[in-house]
Structure 1
Amino acid sequence: MHISRNALQSFQFLLIMTVVTNFISEALGSQSEHTTTKKDQQNLYTKFRLYTDEGNCQIFVNQLETLDKCSFNASLPLVMIVHGWSVDGILESWIWKMAAALKSQHNQMNVIIADWLTLAHQHYPIAVQNTRTTGQEIAQFLEWLEETVQFSRSNAHLIGYSLGAHVSGFAGSFINGTKKIGRITGLDPAGPLFEGMSPTDRLSPDDANFVDAIHTFTKQHMGLSVGIKQPVAHFDFYPNGGTFQPGCHIMHVYNHIAQYGIAGITQTVKCAHERSVHLFIDSLLHKDKQSTAYWCTDINAFNKGLCLSCKKNRCNTLGYNIRQERLPKSRRLFLKTRAHMPFKVYHYQFKIHIINEIQGKPMAPAFTMSLAGTKKDANNLHIPLVESITGNKTYSFLITLDTDIGDLIMIKFKWEGAPVWANIWDTFQTIIPWTKVKSSDYFGCSSFPCLFQKTEQKTCNDSHCFNPLRNFNRAV
């Protein structure tokens, strides 16, 4: 039996969304029974667990001795990890991985896990309503730290995943006073019941001095997506376009089972959604391989390599080490990543201009490219042109490499498959006059006057080429 790729993608999405859609009709409009006030701060639903090398230590609001017992240091920054909706009522393993990564790279900080499982382990729409309650409790916790040990909220960084991203936003909007929380990071903020809502009803740039978000699973089915698609921050990152992530297709379920055992099935289902978490952890663990993203109108323009510029702060670093800059309007940034850590790739833009008119119908692109760099070479790269080729037109495209090949020395193009045009050889001979070949086998490009051939590869040398780097843009 043959199952199409689209059908498999739909099946993967439906595994995630079935529970959501089953309960929306029964729970919309109902009110959560959980409320909290200033009077019952000692009985908050949220547990605040300070992460230490020995485990975790719970801090209780209005119990000052627990700060001393847990060795909370008010002079150090605070990073609070806020999980999302819980299906099984257990804190997920990524939470401890992120806490450990934060402490290993930045030991001089307090790392707290905001455990709101009591409110998150509910039917999804109920958990959505409970995000406000949890946000209020986190705000009360930060206010209590300010009142008792003079901890400044500007030194607090909330990292919220899925529903936890909106919890963090509500914490920022509920906190009293004119001063804001320092930073909020939203890791694939939840989409259902938040997409299209007003800024006061979801994470927004107004919730902290600086807000960043990473969107990794915004592929829509039945009008819903797991992660929110709209911008919700000062900088919104869309790795690989934000709709889906490499290595997360249902076809990779066997790889996940090999790595996680039977739990690999669950890992496959939530792979793209949770990729936001691992991209952030990656930014902590691989300081020498920070992923750079670029401001662009959409993924189509980015895939043409049109946005690889860092001038006027048009690029930024994804993850913990982001350049924090408040902007009057949300800025959408794009990048490509690998399927596993370290996720960083090197972005290269190329432009090809076809010189002459093409006889007959436009031809489907079938190019490969090999690059020779000062550090290493990259061979047989597929050129991702997405449109048919016609004459007298410039084509721009993006290629990504896992390793840095350094400065470009030589480019080799290879035309594969279909017949090439006979009528442009006269033009091409003026570019490389020393070449003696049959006119039906070749065609050329003006931006980099190299040689294309069906069966072998040739390159031009410095004495016969125009500037080979004129239409080559390297970005890291």
Structure 2
Amino acid sequence: MGCLPSVVIGAILLLMACAKCEVSSTDTRTSTSATLPKPDAEQKNILPDVLVSVAEYETAQATKRLPGSLASSVCYEDLGCFSRMGNFSDYLKLPITPEKMATEFHLFTEAHQTQPDFLDYGNPTSIKASKFRKGEPVIIVVHGFGDSANASWYTDFQIAVLGKYPLANFIAVDWAAGAAAPKYWTAAVNTQMAGAQIARLLSVLNNVTGTKMSDVHLIGFSLGAHVVGSTARKLTEFGLQRVGRITGLDPAGPLFRNFHPWCRLDVEDADFVQIIHSNAGTSLNGDMGIDMQLGHRDFYPNGGHAQPGCTSGLHSTFHNMVRNANNCNHNRAPAYVSEAILSSCPFTGYACDSYEKFISGECSDAKHVKMDIFTKDKTPIAQPIYFQTHADGSFCAHTFRLSVTISGKSSPRKGSLKLTLKPKASALKNATTSTITVLKQTNFKPGQTHQDVLISRAALPELEEITVEYERACLILCRDNTNLEVASIKIQELGSAITAECKNLRLANAVAVKVVSSNGQSSCGQLL
């Protein structure tokens, strides 16, 4: 990798200075920030720190001038050895000492969700005296860069997990000293130390309580995902089997995109590895997540790069840093999973070669799976898995496929279709009617079938009605583009057999036609 130009580093430093400026609470200008989740205090402005630290790493790699000790390895009695050679040479340097890491393990149970027990792998008595439930699942959650166990998403996760699995042992890992900003490169190196400490705790739990590794589920967010990857390799070193499950919540991308698999999370690290990508891309574009498949199943909500309700792209990256909200896309991964754990609404995804093919409806008949980090079905899926969400409120969405076949008697037309979805008042709390434009600027030709995908907060049977209207596309000569002859129009809720279909419709420009009535069945051709 090459070094970043000095002008880029200068711009980053300027942005860091600007990002410290507070935005007045009386600012009345239009902004999307109102829909963004408020970042935790520890999570503010981490992108400039990451960019500067990556530049320092690349300079050190190019010049071979490494900071600190030139020792090639170091060993600790309880944690084994660490190296910056061979498969671990990508790190370039060694992690800080266990004492400086000061990693803590907070045990929560369903009956004790505010006052945790503190587990110490160096003191087995701390485990014996704790409220640890022998024989029950162990769920260990690990935060990322610039974060701590005080992060609000930890609490959301804890409430969701213990709400669904009240007998589980929920262990929140706090490696804040090792993950501290602004030194992202150092934090990346320290993932192996934090991983070793978790592995040692599991070894002691195995000895003291008989915990089986198959009953362990490691969940890591951002850098925390690579921490649990390091845990897997240390468990093997300690003579234990790999854990049953790992869930990576938008695993960190900067540096790790080019690291050896032993230095990051990998599909071989657990019996079943699932990944949720919410900000996959490059750090220079403001993306914090890794853009490669790492698991047996890799989910890409909304394409896995930019999330509804969050801004994206170079301009918005600068804007976000100033407004302390640059982690919105990144933070959506734990938010989606927390909601999915308790929600009755299925976060159903579809295996597809690309997001573009998915949103065009091409993959709606492909294998579909629910984004469920506790699923009993562990069948690997090689393709990326895509689904869509709403921008705020309840993120989960019901996905419909719209199929429109143009009549063979129709003249060629160009335009779009506008669907209006009206939910039943009894089906949804605070139900509101929504309007969606699909098949935008499409060339409708005789005999062709066109497909699109749209989302709804209500399931198809929960809709009082769906209407569709044709919106012609023309500048001046619109006289002949007044209606669209449709052989059939079909609306199917994906993941179910529920379908509404109407045939032989004439869609006049700007005239709504009802295609679904209050019983969720077809009600065709009624002009409104």
Q: Give the TM-score category using the shorter length.
A: 0.7 to 0.9
* Aligned residue identity for 2:225: A
Measure the CA separation in 1 of the matches of 2:485 and 2:173.
60
CA contact (8 A) 2:253 2:281 kept: no
CA contact (8 A) 2:149 2:172 kept: no
1:32 Cα offset (Å)? 7.8
Where do 1:31-70 residues align within 5 Å?
Answer: 37-39=76-78, 45-51=102-108, 52-70=112-130
Q: Partner of 2:417 in structure 1? A: 367
Measure the CA separation in 1 of the matches of 2:79 and 2:434.
65
1:17 Cα offset (Å)? 2.7
CA contact (8 A) 1:162 1:187 kept: yes
1:31 Cα offset (Å)? 6.9
Q: Partner of 1:259 in structure 2? A: none
1:308 Cα offset (Å)? 2.6
Where do 1:411-450 residues align within 5 Å?
Answer: 412-418=467-473, 441-448=482-489, 449-450=504-505
- From 144, 157, 178, give the equivalent of 1:119: 178
- From 51, 56, 66, give the equivalent of 1:26: 56
Cα distance change of structure 1 residues 55 and 381 upon mapping to structure 2, 3 Å threshold: same
CA contact (8 A) 1:81 1:112 kept: yes
* Aligned residue identity for 1:136: A
SS state of the match for residue 131, structure 2? coil
* 2:150 is equivalent to residue 91 of structure 1: yes
Q: Partner of 1:434 in structure 2? A: none
1:169 Cα offset (Å)? 1.0
Measure the CA separation in 2 of the matches of 1:192 and 1:460.
48
Where do 1:334-353 residues align within 5 Å?
Answer: 334-353=386-405
Structure 1 unmatched ranges of 5 or more? 252-262, 424-437, 470-476
Cα distance change of structure 1 residues 352 and 54 upon mapping to structure 2, 3 Å threshold: closer
1:280 Cα offset (Å)? 1.2
SS state of the match for residue 446, structure 1? strand
TM-score (norm 2): 0.70
* 2:368 is equivalent to residue 277 of structure 1: no
Structure 2 unmatched ranges of 5 or more? 1-28, 81-97, 314-320, 490-503, 524-528
* Aligned residue identity for 1:102: V
1:206 Cα offset (Å)? 0.3
- From 158, 169, 177, give the equivalent of 1:110: 169
* 2:256 is equivalent to residue 194 of structure 1: yes
SS state of the match for residue 225, structure 1? coil
CA contact (8 A) 1:180 1:207 kept: yes
SS state of the match for residue 455, structure 2? strand
SS state of the match for residue 292, structure 2? coil
1:384 Cα offset (Å)? 2.6
CA contact (8 A) 2:51 2:283 kept: no
Where do 1:4-403 residues align within 5 Å?
Answer: 16-27=46-57, 28-29=60-61, 30=66, 37-39=76-78, 45-51=102-108, 52-86=112-146, 91-122=150-181, 123-176=183-236, 177=239, 179-220=241-282, 222=284, 225-249=287-311, 265-266=323-324, 268-286=325-343, 288-309=344-365, 314-327=367-380, 330-355=382-407, 363=414, 365-370=415-420, 381-386=435-440, 388-392=442-446, 393-403=448-458
CA contact (8 A) 2:421 2:465 kept: yes
Measure the CA separation in 2 of the matches of 1:408 and 1:284.
25
Cα distance change of structure 1 residues 221 and 270 upon mapping to structure 2, 3 Å threshold: closer
Cα distance change of structure 1 residues 61 and 322 upon mapping to structure 2, 3 Å threshold: same
Q: Partner of 1:255 in structure 2? A: none
CA contact (8 A) 1:289 1:344 kept: yes
**Aligned residue-pair number:** 425
Measure the CA separation in 2 of the matches of 1:4 and 1:409.
33
Cα distance change of structure 1 residues 440 and 227 upon mapping to structure 2, 3 Å threshold: closer
Deviations along 1:133-153, whole A, 9 cap, x unmatched?
A: 111121121112212322111
CA contact (8 A) 1:161 1:188 kept: yes
Cα distance change of structure 1 residues 162 and 440 upon mapping to structure 2, 3 Å threshold: closer
Measure the CA separation in 2 of the matches of 1:399 and 1:53.
39
1:302 Cα offset (Å)? 0.8
1:411 Cα offset (Å)? 5.6
SS state of the match for residue 358, structure 2? helix
CA contact (8 A) 2:253 2:283 kept: no
Measure the CA separation in 1 of the matches of 2:362 and 2:192.
41
Q: Partner of 2:91 in structure 1? A: none
Measure the CA separation in 2 of the matches of 1:379 and 1:107.
37
Comparing 452-461 and 167-176, the one that deviates more? 452-461
1:107 Cα offset (Å)? 1.3
SS state of the match for residue 244, structure 1? coil
Percent identity among equivalent residues? 24
SS state of the match for residue 134, structure 1? helix
Greater strand content: 2
Measure the CA separation in 2 of the matches of 1:4 and 1:337.
21
* 2:506 is equivalent to residue 451 of structure 1: yes
1:21 Cα offset (Å)? 1.6
Deviations along 1:85-115, whole A, 9 cap, x unmatched?
A: 016x673121122122222221101111111
1:413 Cα offset (Å)? 2.5
Deviations along 1:151-208, whole A, 9 cap, x unmatched?
A: 1111111110000001111111221236211111000100101124443232111000
Measure the CA separation in 1 of the matches of 2:31 and 2:464.
42
Cα distance change of structure 1 residues 326 and 356 upon mapping to structure 2, 3 Å threshold: closer
Deviations along 1:64-100, whole A, 9 cap, x unmatched?
A: 211132221231111011000016x673121122122
CA contact (8 A) 1:217 1:225 kept: yes
Cα distance change of structure 1 residues 144 and 221 upon mapping to structure 2, 3 Å threshold: closer
* Aligned residue identity for 1:450: L
SS state of the match for residue 131, structure 1? helix
Measure the CA separation in 1 of the matches of 2:329 and 2:285.
18
* Aligned residue identity for 1:206: E
Cα distance change of structure 1 residues 198 and 384 upon mapping to structure 2, 3 Å threshold: farther
Cα distance change of structure 1 residues 440 and 323 upon mapping to structure 2, 3 Å threshold: same
CA contact (8 A) 1:420 1:442 kept: no
CA contact (8 A) 2:472 2:482 kept: no
Please, what is the CA RMSD of the aligned residues?
A: 4.0
1:38 Cα offset (Å)? 3.0
Deviations along 1:263-320, whole A, 9 cap, x unmatched?
A: 9943x3211111111111112232x22311111111111101222346xxx2222143
